[in-house]
Amino acid sequence: MVEPILEIRELRKSFGALKATDGVSLDLRPGEIHALIGPNGAGKSTLIHQISGSIRQDSGTIRFLGEDMAGLGMPERARRGLGRSFQISSLAPEFSALRNVMLAVQARQGSSLRFFRPVMADKSLTEPAMAMLERVGLAKRANLPAAELSHGERRQLEIAIALALGSKAFLFDEPMAGMGPEGSKVLTGFLDGLRHEAPILLVEHDMDAVFALADRISVLVYGRIIASGTVDDIRNDPEVRRAYLGEAA
Amino acid sequence: MIARETIINLVLAVILLAVPLIAMAFGEPFYVTLSTRVAILALAAVGLNIALGLGGLVSFGHAAFFGIGGYAAGILATHAFNAEPMLFGFEGTTSMPWIWLIALTVCGLVALPIGAISLRTSGVYFIMITLAFAQMIYYFAISWPAYGGEDGLSLSVRNSFPLINTAKPLPFFLICYALLLLAMGLFALIRGSRFGAALQTARQNDTRLAAVGIAPFNIRLIAFIISAMVTGLAGALFADLNRFASPSMLSWHMSGELIVLIILGGKGRLFGPLAGAMLYVLFEYTLGGITERWQFFLGLILLGVVLFARGGLLGLLAGKARHG
């Protein structure tokens, strides 16, 4: 079997009496989209936060590219290639879309301690950033401040940033949220191709997108994974139907 | 087409240069001194503007650096004047370039631990902890009799600059003016640079900065140190202007004044500190001539700015700041 890119074992995190993550183990393998679904409050975002390093787990291990992430903060993990998007878009609102991506390009080049050369005249920043915006279909909006982009466009911008980082795995937290049906369709097609660049751990409520994209699905309920398998396994799992999918499936 | 802000900036720069030239032509050196005061306060605020305007770090302790710069000038000159050796047999100096270099170095060295500790906090705690550090230094200065204690430290003559007669008001003004322009140039470069991009992102959204792999703490610490050094340089000039290093340069009123200058002028704007310093000194001079309670009216104006003109004077005149 191929070595997983991301390997999570027995992860636990409590907030007081609430077990937000209760012994979660899962893998992300090369070339796959692994979808994480579950009802609101199941602990999906908490899990993403622990993987990306913005909160620390109580116990359990997270290994990324064979390396234990314990003790590494969000910046260190991002530098090692964990690219994430946020459930609520997290951008530099005053900066243009282009400058938001340029920041990622500069971070990847490891060159933030340059004090004099103007960034806007620096083709080694603007050109790769523009290329990423073109890939996600935001090129025409490149000069608008992030705050003036639509909800869906901000999602696309976050993905462009993760791409510009040259991420080796993507953690996308509800990238489709707030997008119209047309937008989700385009993004679904885009993510479909993206998996060959780096595997994606996808938290998503849009079941059409999940069923269309996922190689594997894990279902998280009250901090525990109650089922994990292929799309068909999950569709036909009685416990999942009861706990989450309801009649919708 | 030239942006409106550029034109306003040019006008401000020309006014500050023109006032002392005209004043000298009419034999009114007082206005030269007033303009020098504007230039120095603006320089101090340009320093703070790096931390506050670009980095969103509301330091309520920049008086510490302003005062340290002032005392550096005062102490070095006193030792040189009395030919009294200080550390390592060094006899002090009355040469401005050396004083500036030492003031910059000392401020940077002091800002490092203050920043490293303060930047572990944010928001109101950051404000309070920077204030606390500055007050510590203030009380240290007033209880140190060797350098004047509460009385401060007088300079017998203004320090010297090669080939320039600094004792005359106009040449000294021009030195301050040149340093102000230099510092504003530095500010503009930093703002447009990679470092500036990271720093401004730290202000807008530090999670975003961390998510691309840049640690916000390091960026802020470096900005805090640069900011302190520029403010310290202004302090050294201020001591030379007044021929006096006063403990009041270290007090929290001074820190507040610097913040007020930036808010009045427009925070994060290249010429915000200068616009603010011009307004402030103008109020101080005109209102101060009418009533001793001029700061009451300054308070009203500040209230108006905060409520109705968030971008300060420059925001009012040139519109909202745009980033590339």
User: Is residue A58 within 8 Å of A131, Cβ to Cβ?
Assistant: no
User: Helix-strand-coil percent breakdown of chain B, rounded to 5?
Assistant: 75, 0, 20
Q: Is the pLDDT of residue B324 over 60?
A: no
Q: What's the ipTM? A: 0.89
Contact A118 B189 (CB under 8 A): yes
- CB nearest to B212's CB, from A73, A107, A120: A107
H/E segment holding residue A36: strand A33-37
Contact B212 A78 (CB under 8 A): yes
Class of domain B4-318: mainly alpha
Q: Report which of B286, B30, B297 is spatially closest to residue B170, judged by C-alpha positions.
A: B30
* pLDDT tens column, B160-181: 999 999 999 999 999 999 999 9
Contact B208 A108 (CB under 8 A): no
Say if B320 is an interface residue toward chain A (CB within 8 Å).
no
User: Is residue A15 within 8 Å of A36, Cβ to Cβ?
Assistant: no
More confident residue, B201 or A240: B201
Task: Name the minimum distance, in Å, from the CA of B216 to any CA of chain A.
Answer: 9
Chain B contact set for A104 (CB, 8 A):
212
Q: Provide φ and ψ at B40, rounded to 5°.
A: -70, -45
pLDDT band at B322 (very low <50, low <70, confident <90, very high): low
Which of B14-28, B141-155, B229-243 is least confident? B141-155
* pLDDT tens column, B73-116: 999 999 998 888 887 778 889 999 999 999 999 999 999 999 99
Query: Which stretches of chain A drop beneath a pLDDT of 50?
Result: 247-249
What pLDDT does residue A249 have? 41
Chain A contact set for B196 (CB, 8 A):
115, 119
- Taking CA atoms, what residue in A is nearest to B197? A103
What pLDDT does residue B323 have? 64
Say if B190 is an interface residue toward chain A (CB within 8 Å).
yes
- CB nearest to B323's CB, from A78, A91, A95: A95
Task: Give dist(CA B196, CA B213) in Å, integer.
Answer: 16
* pLDDT tens column, A118-149: 999 999 999 999 999 999 999 999 999 999 99
Contact A119 B197 (CB under 8 A): yes
DSSP label at B53? I
Tokens 């510590």 correspond to what residue? B136
More confident residue, A42 or B233: B233
What the block records as the tokens of A88 is 């609520």
* pLDDT tens column, B256-298: 999 999 999 999 999 999 999 999 999 999 888 888 888 888 8
* pLDDT tens column, B45-72: 999 999 999 999 999 999 999 999 999 9
In this prediction the pTM is: 0.93
What the block records as the tokens of B114 is 């203050």
N-to-C CA span, chain B: 16
| Cβ neighbours, 10 Å, residue B11 | 12
Domain boundaries, chain B: 4-318
What the block records as the tokens of A74 is 């969000």
Class of domain A1-81+169-249: alpha beta
Contact A117 B205 (CB under 8 A): no
Chain A contact set for B193 (CB, 8 A):
114-119
Give the mean model confidence (pLDDT) for residues B148-164: 90
Q: Is the pLDDT of residue B236 over 50?
A: yes
What pLDDT does residue A29 have? 94
Mean predicted lDDT score pLDDT of chain B: 93
The strand pair at A216-221 and A33-37 is best described as parallel
User: Is residue B67 within 8 Å of B148, Cβ to Cβ?
Assistant: no
